Amino acid sequence: MGALTQGKPVHLTYRQIADDLAARIGNGEFPPGTALPSYRQLSEIYSVSVATIARAISLLHDRGAVYGEVGRGVFVADHPIIR
């Protein structure tokens, strides 16, 4: 997902990552009940730190799009509210 502009990496903010994940949830790439990739996997996909991913996931949680289960992961809500 990390974009390149004239050979230079573009660093996404946690809000941009949350918006991208929300769009992917909205278009059905991650259907309700599906686990999102792990924080580590997402950090590699977006080329950002795990802390940035944690902030993005927290924002999605606040929006009602995802929920977490301790020891299991983060899942798409049954009726995600995508804003």
36-51, pLDDT tens digit by residue? 999 999 999 999 999 9
pLDDT, residue 11, reads 83
> What pTM did the predictor assign?
0.83
41: CB partners within 8 A, 6+ apart: none
Domain that holds residue 45: 4-76
Quick check: is 83 in a domain?
Answer: no
pLDDT, residue 9, reads 66
Quick check: is 36 in a domain?
Answer: yes
Does 58 have pLDDT greater than 60? Answer: yes
Does 6 have pLDDT greater than 80? Answer: no
Give the domain CATH number at 12.
1.10.10.10
Distances (CA, A) of 8 to 11, 13, 22, 73: 9, 16, 26, 32
Structural domains in the chain (count): 1
